[in-house]
Structure 1
Amino acid sequence: MELHVRSEVRGVWTVLAVSGELDADTVPVLSERLEQDTGRKVVVDLSGVPFMDTTGLSLMLDWHRRLDGAGGQFRMACLQPSVHKLFRLTELTEVMHIHDSVESATTGTP
């Protein structure tokens, strides 16, 4: 399955809307877009991602650490139940910024 990434700017935030499965075969697509299209404040909209494996999880954690360590912000929004379960099982829901909507991610509300 192909991975598609669309980006838009909402104020100071770069929002990347991802669709398709995020796995070892497709992670390079999102990784390249994160390198090219992002500023210091990023929201990844995962509403179109029905499946994510540990390589996708690692990419999200890496960008969280990278931006937060540099004074930026990395947030995820609209996780599908199976993807949210991966973050819960690895206990990363307590570490990463996960929002129910892109709107809440870009405004900082829970």
Structure 2
Amino acid sequence: MELQVRSEVRGGWTVVSVSGELDADTVPVLSDRLEESTGNVVVDLSEVPFMDTTGLSLMLDWHRRLDGAGGEFRMASMQASVHKLFRLTELTEVMHIHETVESATTTT
């Protein structure tokens, strides 16, 4: 399945919307789009039914990268299967995960 990535700016946040499976074959597509992003970023995962550890590593890398640069990295609207991966690795305690894109872009 081909990964679709689009982005837009909403109130000071770059919202990156992802559609498709996020795995070793498709992570470079999202990585390239994130490289174009600056400041605060929200990744909308509502249309990602599957993510492997490669996708998980990319999310953690961007969390650390933006945190170190004074920005913020948030994820929103995870499907249950993707959220389970974050719970099993205990990253729900470390990363900013929101129920909706709206809450991710408005919560301080």
Same fold, TM-score > 0.5, yes or no:
yes
Instruction: Determine the structure 2 residue equivalent to 1:92.
Output: 91
Q: SS at 1:43's partner residue?
A: strand
Q: 1:56, CA displacement in angstroms?
A: 0.0
Q: Percent identity?
A: 83
> Which residues in structure 2 correspond to 1:1-110 (within 5 Å)?
1-36=1-36, 38-108=37-107
Question: In structure 1, what is the Cα distance between the partners aligned to 2:98 and 2:69?
Answer: 21
CA RMSD in angstroms comes to 0.7
Q: 1:97, CA displacement in angstroms?
A: 0.1
Question: In structure 2, what is the Cα distance between the partners aligned to 1:42 and 1:86?
Answer: 21
Q: SS at 2:23's partner residue?
A: coil
Q: 1:40, CA displacement in angstroms?
A: 1.0
Q: TM-score, normalised by structure 1?
A: 0.97
Runs of 4+ in 1 over 2 A off after TM superposition: none
In the comparison of the two structures, how many residue pairs are matched?
A: 108
Question: In structure 2, what is the Cα distance between the partners aligned to 1:11 and 1:95?
Answer: 24
Gaps of 5+ in 2: none
Q: 1:11, CA displacement in angstroms?
A: 1.4
